[in-house]
Structure 1
Amino acid sequence: MHVGKLKEELIQYANEIGVDKIRFASADTFDSLKDRLILHESLGYLSGFEEPDIEKRTNPALLLPKAKSIVAIALAYPSKMKDAPRSTKDARRGIFCRASWGTDYHVVLKKKLDMLEEFLRSKHEDIRTKSMVDTGELSDRAVAERAGIGFSAKNCMIITPEFGSYVYLAEMITNVPFEPDEKIEEQCGTCNKCVDSCPTGALVNPGQLNSQRCISFLTQTKGFLPDEFRSKIGNRLYGCDTCQIVCPINKGKDFHLHPEMEPDPEIAKPLLKPLLTISNREFKEKYGHVSGSWRGKKPIQRNAILALAHFKDTSALPDLVELMHKDPRPVIRGTAAWAIGKIGDEQQLSELEKALERESDEEAKQEIIKGIELLQTPLNTK
């Protein structure tokens, strides 16, 4: 097997099937990442969505015996939505982050990886591979950085020279000893816009993220959103793009290379009020194909309630009162009660008091009490 020739052939094939960037890295252990993960774990910065075994996250040989190299790929996604609907006073809308536009990127990239694996295995019977996208053990960003897909920026994203940070990442470990590519030099310089602009201060230092404070993480949680973050979430239903939007390197970067990644405006920027009463079946049919649906409808509905409170949308009050009284989920009942307090006036006081008498969940009770207190606060100071 001529490894150099095989590398050239794999690059050519990747280009043919629509991979926007392909680079190669060694399968050595990620020692600096391991140190960082241990530190972040001790500080409580990890999200809990990651692979819990730090050894598996940093040692490719534990995932594929005799691992010799890692093939890293990137696909560019759009940063601008064509024909985006406007959010108006009577028709308020939420927003899904750009990484949840179009078909779930896990599906899109997995298909590309499957094709690359088949291509390699067709070349030699002894070739072994293991691929992953986002939910795998390895850190996509650590692999991409080592392979030279891009550099690791202060916002903890991989920034590519061609596409900025608007790229999906994935990788394939293999026992083929491909020659590694060179890393790209970090180009943030003195710019600190992402750190300064983070709505919750989740970027505690350049290149250091406290996931527990990151809006992208918070929008995916299923419980009550902590009070301090409710005014920060805005109309975000899933994810957050602030640290990408403010990045000067991303200015003007907008690529529409993959039709399956194009957003449906009514899904990527949906009306908020219909989300409050959407059934499980309707949610699956409408949103099931986007990555932002992976946690189910409950976090999206909770965030929709918070967005309506953000807009102080009085037209949503009847819907919120209905949820507070009748929804079977304490998080939805309680969040609705809090939102009524943010939006309404003393006309809703009797509804909140009735709900408090009936409520059996302690956390939901506390939210109703917050709602009552907010109703007694002047509207312009809420």
Structure 2
Amino acid sequence: MTYDNLKQEVIEYSREIGIDKIGFASADVFSTLKERLKIQASLGYQSGFEKGSIEERTEPERLLPEAKSIISIAMAYPSRMKNAPRGTRKERRGIFCRASWGKDYHHILRERLEKLSQFLKDKNPDVLTRIMVDTGELSDRAVAERAGIGFSGKNCSIITPEFGSYVYLGEMITNIPFPPDQPVEDSCGDCHICVDACPTGALVQGGQLNARRCIAFLTQTKDFLPDEFRGKIGNRLYGCDTCQQVCPKNKGKDVHLHPEMEPEPENVKPKLIPLLKLSNREFRERFGSMSGSWRGKKPIQRNAILALAHYKDKSAVNDLIAMMNEDPRPVIRGTAAWALGKIGGNKAEEAIKEAMQKETDMQVIQEMKKGLDLLKKS
């Protein structure tokens, strides 16, 4: 069997197992990406979540010495929710980004790639593979771009002709020298809507992201959120869709091909106040199957507090006072104090002053002072 024929069989099998797009790329060094990553590192634009060294992230042979090609896959996820619940003044809601709707995509794509790997090994026991989905060393986007899945847009997402940028990506390095596919032509043109719309200016320019300013990154951090971003989070609990929502290439793109990717409305748009009271077990039972749960409940609860402050939700005051006084986590106590100051009112002011008398953590005390300053301005 020729490699061309085997490639066609792999393509046909990928359709049978529910892969929406598949492409093939060489395992050559990603030279352009390597230089870009060096610049990103020198500017301090990396998130810190990246795995591996720059060399490991751009030289496939470091990950699989026998590497000859890389198979890239894409699976499309929904951009719209059926029966989406609406928040009200009495019951404010937060939102998880679309990439966290449904079952954790890492598991979904890994399962498909493992089936592809087994398919190849059944054809030839000498086949070697290495699978990655998002958390591996290689850049899913760089591989997908080279493999012709789509082009890399100014919003730093892979944009496909069929599904826009609403796709999950994964790849498999192999020792089979598959004929490579051709990259898709970049068609962003002069459009820079996403750059202009980014809430924090994280898109420094088209195709260049300062991950440290990206809301998708910020919502996953566990420390106090820097002051300049607290008013930008809105009601986002995990991730951010702004640069995808405004993209003209995504207009009208909404596919529902995989039942496991369909959102549970009450989980992806949850009521905010009940989130404050979740135990670890309750959090895992409710959100554990979603990719947005990977950092645990602390960032989600901190973001829920910030969302309540965003709405200036006075019905949350009692719960926030309780968190400020009783929660063992300084980040939560301090953020609750800041939120009380943002919401305002005599009760909030008295509670902050009283709590400050017994607080021992200096960072929390600093947040309490910020809360009192906000009260003075209100």
| TM superposition score normalised by structure 2 | 0.99
1:1-382 equivalences under 5 Å are 1-378=1-378
Partner SS state of residue 131, structure 2: strand
The C-alpha deviation readout for 1:291-336, integer Å capped at 9, x for no partner, is 0000000000000000000011000000000000000000000000
Once residues 348 and 342 of structure 1 are traced to their aligned partners in structure 2, the CA distance between those partners, rounded to angstroms, is 9
Question: Equivalent residue of 1:171, what SS?
Answer: strand
Counterpart AA for 1:30: F
Give, in angstroms, the shift of residue 125 of structure 1. Answer: 1.3
More moved, 354-363 vs 257-266: 354-363
1:357 positional shift = 1.1
Structure 2 residue runs of 5 or longer lacking an equivalent are: none
The one-letter code matched in structure 1 to 2:32 is S
* CA-CA distance at 1:281 after TM superposition: 0.2
CA deviation digits over 1:224-269, x for unaligned, max 9? 0000000000000000000000000100000000000000000010
- Give the aligned residue type for 1:330: P
Question: What is the CA distance between 1:347 and its match in structure 2?
Answer: 2.8
Residue 346 (structure 1) shift = 2.5
Shift, 1:126, TM fit: 1.0
Separation of aligned partners in 2, 1:288 and 1:303: 17
Deviations 1:99-140 (A, max 9, x none): 000000000001000100000000011111001000001000
Residue type matched to 1:248 in 2? P
SS in structure 1 at match of 2:173: strand
Is the partner of 2:357 in helix, strand or coil?
Answer: helix
1:24-72 Cα shifts (integer Å, max 9, x gaps): 0000000000000010000000000001411110000011111000000
C-alpha deviations, 1:200-232, integer Å up to 9, x for none?
000001100000000000000000000000000
CA distance in 2, matches of 1:20, 1:10: 13
What is the SS of the residue equivalent to 1:358? coil
User: Percent identity over the alignment?
Assistant: 67
Show structure 1 runs of 4+ deviating over 6 A: none
Query: Contact 1:317 / 1:344 at 8 angstroms: preserved in 2?
Result: no
Q: Distance in 2 between matches of 1:201 and 1:344?
A: 29
SS at match of 1:376: helix
- Paired residue total: 378
| Distance in 2, Cα, partners of 1:204 & 1:253 | 26
Give me the TM-score of the superposition, normalised by structure 1. Answer: 0.98
Distance, in Å, in 2 between the alignment partners of 1:348 and 1:99 is: 36
**Matched AA of 2:47:** S
Equivalent residue letter for 2:315: S
Q: Distance in 1 between matches of 2:86 and 2:335?
A: 25
Which deviates more, 354-363 or 72-81? 354-363
**Whole-Å separation in 1 of the counterparts to 2:273 and 2:234:** 15
What is the CA deviation profile of residues 146-187 of structure 1, one whole-angstrom value per residue up to 9, with x for unaligned ones?
000000000110000000000000000000000000000100
